[in-house]
Amino acid sequence: MMTSILDDPEATIKHVNSLAFNRSTGSEGETEAVFYIRDQLDNKDIENRFEYFTYMGPRKVVMRLVYLIFLTYLLFFKFLMVIAIYFSIKYLFVTTRNYSLVKEETSKNLVSTISAINRRKKLPVVILTAHYDSFSANLPFRLQSILFFIFRIFIIPYFIIKLTFSLWILGSFNLTTYQSPIILDFILKSSLIEFVILFLIFLLIYNTKKSTGAIDNASGVSIILELAKKLNEKPLKNMDVIIVFTGAEEWGLIGAKRFCKRNQKSFSEKYILDKSLNINFDMIGSYIGLLNKKNLFLRKLINQTLNKNIVDTANKLGISIVKHEITPKTDHKVFLKFGKKTKSDFQVACFHSAKDVKYIHSPRDTPDKCNVQNLNNVLEISLETLRKIDSELYPSEKI
């Protein structure tokens, strides 16, 4: 029998079903999704606001890579006149200076603040996060991860080396006939690698089989949406709560990065960050997973006491949690860096059903993969954990 602290036990899965459509970063679907979330908050009179930002989308990145390839060849073959004409036309006029075949993308975070009952000069803050965009690809998720790893580790340094060679050749007029063909052969043949990688990236970007993004991450959105409603009905006594529905997570955690950058200084002044925390919800599907360590290679736990509180609450409620060592690339990483930058004991936790990655970014990521009881259980665990932490903040004030 399904149990829930919600008046409507089906509320979370209803959100998942409502958001089960293509919400690709920068698409109309992404905008439709965030408007759905806003309407849900408005219906309960929960304060909310948009925080807009721009970013370099995948198409613009690919275009920049193509530009770099052509520039390298122009430098290599010393077509200086072509380069000079291009940059002269590009920067001589205002219209051409600002012109781009592919413009920057625009997205937004939806942010809601629920103030603590007891007001003080400085308070701890709870930041609850879940990204609302989705990603669709023709390649399996693990192959995607390998491809992006290769791109970051090998291709970017390769571009730098190749550009350096081209500049060296441009400035060198005494290369021997033996040296020059070797470098020429290296650059020409290795260019095949560039075009293969670009082709694979296009496979990731342009696809016909759209994912509905149920597990990743309508599930997380559904939970913090209902958490917002419960916390608005009965706010925490000693902690402000900020709920952030982040955009453009699937394209480099952009929304979370913009949020932290925008608020780092003000949060440091306004809140007691040593007692503050972030819980990120990204993928709650066939079971409940909880990230246990900062990364696979370090023994250091992801937080000091937050996970213990979460697990203790789950045990008290009789709910099973699976701990994971492998760190997903999701918004919690941005908040870990936020803690370092603010030099505070800011704690971060992340709910993530890692074994469900076999479904995500593909047509297999459907609402039926999201277990409604798991969604409700994560909601209840989170709410009870927050209330427990909140009640223990100022024990000397208890009567």
Q: Containing H/E element for 136? A: none
Is residue 257 located within the same domain as residue 324? yes
Of 205, 239, 254, the one marking the end of a domain is 205
In this structure, are 385 and 242 located in the same domain?
A: yes
Choosing from 190, 205, 220, the residue where a domain stops is 205
In a domain, 289, yes or no: yes
Q: Which of 157, 177, 152, 179 is nearest to 168 (CA)?
A: 179
Could you give the 3-state DSSP secondary structure of residue 268? helix
Q: How many domains does the chain have?
A: 2
| 149 and 292 housed in the same domain | no
Do 215 and 326 share a structural domain?
A: yes
Q: Quick check: is 318 in a domain?
A: yes
Q: What is the pLDDT of residue 394?
A: 74
CATH number at residue 373: 3.40.630.10
The residues, ordered by sequence, that sit 6+ positions from 80 with a Cβ below 8 Å of its Cβ are 170
Q: How far apart are CA 297 and CA 280, in angstroms?
A: 21
Output the pLDDT for position 206.
Answer: 58
pLDDT, residue 136, reads 84
Residues 191 and 246 in one domain: no
Looking at 205, 227, 250, which one is the last position of a domain? Answer: 205
Instruction: Give me the pLDDT at residue 368, please.
Output: 97
Tokens representing residue 190 in the block: 């290795």
Q: Give pLDDT, residue 56.
A: 80
User: Could you tell me if 226 and 151 lie in one domain?
Assistant: no
Per-residue pLDDT tens digits for 193-252: 666 766 666 666 556 568 899 999 999 999 999 999 999 999 999 999 999 999 999 988
127 and 271 in a common domain: yes
**157 lies in the same domain as 244:** no
Are 96 and 230 contained in the same domain?
Answer: no
| Residue 220 sits in the same domain as residue 335 | yes
Q: Find where tokens 């060198």 sit.
A: 172
Is the domain of 289 the same as that of 307? yes
Domain-embedded: residue 31 = yes
User: Could you list the pLDDT tens digit for every one of the 399 residues in the chain?
Assistant: 566 788 899 999 999 999 999 998 888 999 999 999 999 999 999 999 999 999 887 666 667 767 766 776 676 666 767 777 777 777 777 676 666 666 778 899 999 999 999 989 999 999 999 999 998 877 677 777 776 776 667 666 666 766 666 666 656 655 444 445 666 666 666 666 666 766 666 666 556 568 899 999 999 999 999 999 999 999 999 999 999 999 999 988 999 999 999 999 999 999 999 999 999 999 999 999 999 987 666 667 888 899 999 999 999 999 999 999 877 889 999 999 999 999 999 999 999 999 999 999 989 999 999 999 999 999 999 999 999 999 998 765 554
Task: Give the pLDDT confidence of 270-285 residue by residue, as tens digits.
Answer: 999 999 999 999 999 9
Residue type, 287: Y
Give the integer Cα–Cα distance in Å for 372 and 222.
Answer: 10
Domain membership of residue 292 as a residue range = 11-55+106-135+211-393
124 and 235 inside one domain:
yes
Indicate whether 349 belongs to any domain.
yes
371, 301 contact by CB (below 8 A) = no
Tell me: cis bond preceding 217? Omega within 30 of 0 counts: yes
Q: How many residues does the chain have?
A: 399
